[in-house]
Amino acid sequence: MLTAVNPATGETVREVTPDTDEQVEAKLAASLKAYHEWKEKSFSERGDLLKAVAKHMRDNVETLAPIMTEEMGKPINEARGEVNKGAWCAEHYADNAEAYLTRQVIESDATVSYVQHLPIGPILGILPWNAPFWLAFRFCAPSLMAGNSALMKHDPHVPGCALAIEQCFRAVGAPEGLFQALMIETPRVEAVMRDKRVRGVSFTGSSRGGSKVAEIAGSEIKPAVLELGGSDPSIVLADADLEKAADVLTLSRIINAGQSCIAAKRIIVEDSVYDRMKDLLSAKLRALKVGNPKLEETDVGPIARKDLRAELDRQVRTSISEGATCLFGGEVPEGDGYFYPVTLLADVTPDMTAFKEETFGPVGVLIKARNDEHALELANDTEYGLAASVWTKAERGQEMARRIEAGQVSVNGIVKTDPRLPSGGIKSSGLGRELGPHGIMEFVNAQQVWVGPVQGG
């Protein structure tokens, strides 16, 4: 049974019977059939469908957003924003896919030679719970506009979200089998990955899960895009606008109750402004309201699951025992639901758990750096390489970005995902890119065409 538990109350809110093996087989067959028909559609026809889906989402945001709030605890204002961001992603690729995939003429000895970008078949998206709508469209919008079909295996804890996303396509008359939700338990997804009809895999989740997906995809010689964990550094230097940095880093740390791969997890501050930054962050984080995610005034909702909260609590307690200073928070509250207080740990060093591990929750981690070189050393001292930010003069920040081991760097701004810009990690944070012109290239056949005769022959 696929079971959704409301993390604000601990109560079961939805149970969905998993697909049978026969139903999975039918969905695979339908996906392949839809692909063969869909790949012949023009970019305009594909775009019309994606725009219709986007309009349906915007028109029904007050129905779709509460499903996220109910199943994984996203505050309602953030949930509305996520639905609209997913619609934006669909619209962006509807408008830009043709230009992204335009034929590239390359001079050679041929009369004409070029590369054209062709679809490859059904693409499987394996998605986590923390951004159910956004991650679905980050995966499916470029895949569909490239001419592929899409199969979505969502996290088993958000079955209502998965069915609602599929319904968005059904509601606007999408071809049967073009976009389908596979309602299966996680252990059953390997067989789907290995099925010859599936031609590529997009995975968002933990580094451990990504390693397994990469192993399976590699053994089947299938392309895979992996967006994995992150312990993202945010470097704050003495010449930064500290007030602005504190505002943005507070928001970055607590979006989705801090349950984001690209959240500001390790805030590395130059020694001379460390105490000032600590005071600013303390004031801003303390002012946030933790509570019922259904209420408009709530800033921070619950942790999505009880086991995830227990892991976060372990990381905080262990870090304190290792010498970190807990300025506030750090105690699991009594009562229903899986709430965790906004917490700020100071004086964290590289040998501590909060430095070495990814913390998935509203826990700020302050680290002192002697100077900019030491800050860079600390930033790169991690197995992860997803995203980072630098707060300093713009030119200096751009110079430092080249030396940061991450797939994405923001200078004097929040780290975010944007349909127009590629996103992805290096090291243990992933393979490949999503979004922007790079993302749509991941699941296409970059076919070289050589047309004779040889020039001058």
User: Which are the catalytic amino acids?
Assistant: 227, 261
Which residue in the block uniquely carries the two structure tokens 């915007």? Answer: 58
CA 299, chain centre distance (Å):
20
**CA atoms in the 13 A half-sphere facing the CB of 310:** 3
429 touches 386 (CB < 8 A):
yes
Distances (CA, A) of 282 to 143, 227, 247, 418: 43, 31, 11, 29
304 touches 4 (CB < 8 A):
no
Q: Looking at the DSSP assignment, which residues form a beta bridge with residue 451?
A: 112
Q: Using CA of residue 221, residue 226, residue 228, residue 232, what is the dihedral sign?
A: positive
- Cα separation, 239 vs 249, in Å, equals 16
- Cα separation, 144 vs 156, in Å, equals 23
> Would you give the DSSP letter of residue 434?
B
157 touches 130 (CB < 8 A):
no
**CA atoms in the 13 A half-sphere facing the CB of 133:** 35
User: How many residues belong to the chain?
Assistant: 457
123 touches 150 (CB < 8 A):
yes
Three-state DSSP class for 66?
helix
- Cα separation, 51 vs 63, in Å, equals 19
Q: If we measure between CA atoms, which residue out of 271, 261, 263, 260 comes closest to residue 236? A: 271
State which amino acid sits at residue 132.
P
Which residue in the block uniquely carries the two structure tokens 């929040």? Answer: 414
- What ranges in 255-302 are assigned the alpha helix state H? 274-286
Angle between helices 132-145 and 61-72 (to 10 degrees): 120
Q: Which two tokens stand for residue 364?
A: 């700020």
Q: Which residues contact 288 (CB under 8 A, 6 or more apart)?
A: 250, 254, 299, 300, 342, 362
Distances (CA, A) of 67 to 108, 161, 169: 55, 6, 17
Longest dimension (CA), the chain: 83
Three-state DSSP class for 247?
helix
